[in-house]
């Protein structure tokens, strides 16, 4: 079982998100995260889907996605040299006493503090999945109040376009 990041270029049309999420639920595939937004072409959106499965399941997922009429292109980004990012907003307990420690960790992880009250801070952090998990792990002892997290987005390295049509 491997974590795969799949990039799906879709026509920005009625019901396309439900076709894709429905395909996953109907065939019993699992979605770890899904993020979607427009590309530079407003008729086209790009979805980044993170799923977990063995090679055979992921091969079927990709083939089934390609069958959808509104799907323009599917690429298993995990198989190419790529950059992957997620973003989290974390609210952590931080009093006057613990705040310097928290700030230290945030700066080590190259995060940003975006809100401060007497009892808590809100931290914004981007990074790949493992970095995010490591950060949350370190923050745990301070008392995490709330985490809001985006799905992963990914882009290929170099001049090759992830959102290329062909």
Distance CA 43, CA 134 (A): 37
Residue 15 CB, shortest distance to other proteins, in Å, is 6
Distance CA 64, CA 82 (A): 23
111 φ, ψ to 5°? -95, 180
- C-beta of 25 vs 95, nearer to other proteins: 25
Residue 141 CB, shortest distance to other proteins, in Å, is 46
Residue 77 CB, shortest distance to other proteins, in Å, is 19
- C-beta of 41 vs 79, nearer to other proteins: 41
- C-beta of 72 vs 106, nearer to other proteins: 72
Residue 30 CB, shortest distance to other proteins, in Å, is 17
Distance CA 111, CA 54 (A): 34
Instruction: Say how many C-beta atoms besides its own lie within 10 A of residue 31's C-beta.
Output: 15
For other proteins, the binding residues (CB under 8 A) are 10-11, 14-15, 18-19, 22-23, 26, 56, 59-60, 63-64, 66-73, 165
Distances (CA, A) of 151 to 64, 67, 81, 104: 22, 24, 19, 26
- C-beta of 8 vs 121, nearer to other proteins: 8
Distance CA 129, CA 64 (A): 26
């Amino acid at each position: 079982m491997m974590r795969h990041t799949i990039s799906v270029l879709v026509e920005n049309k009625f019901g396309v998100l439900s076709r894709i999420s429905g395909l996953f639920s109907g065939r019993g595939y699992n979605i770890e995260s899904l993020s979607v937004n427009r590309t530079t072409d407003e008729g086209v959106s790009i979805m980044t889907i993170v799923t977990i499965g063995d090679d055979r399941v992921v091969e079927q997922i990709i083939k089934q996605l390609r069958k959808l009429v509104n799907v323009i292109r599917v690429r298993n980004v995990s198989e190419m040299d790529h950059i992957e990012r997620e973003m989290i907003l974390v609210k952590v307990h931080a009093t006057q006493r613990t705040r310097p420690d928290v700030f230290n960790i945030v700066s080590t992880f190259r995060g940003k503090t975006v809100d401060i009250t007497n009892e808590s801070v809100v931290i914004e952090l981007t990074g790949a999945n493992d970095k995010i998990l490591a950060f949350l792990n370190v923050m745990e002892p301070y008392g995490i109040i709330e985490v809001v997290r985006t799905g992963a987005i990914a882009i290929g390295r170099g001049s090759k376009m992830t959102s290329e049509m062909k």
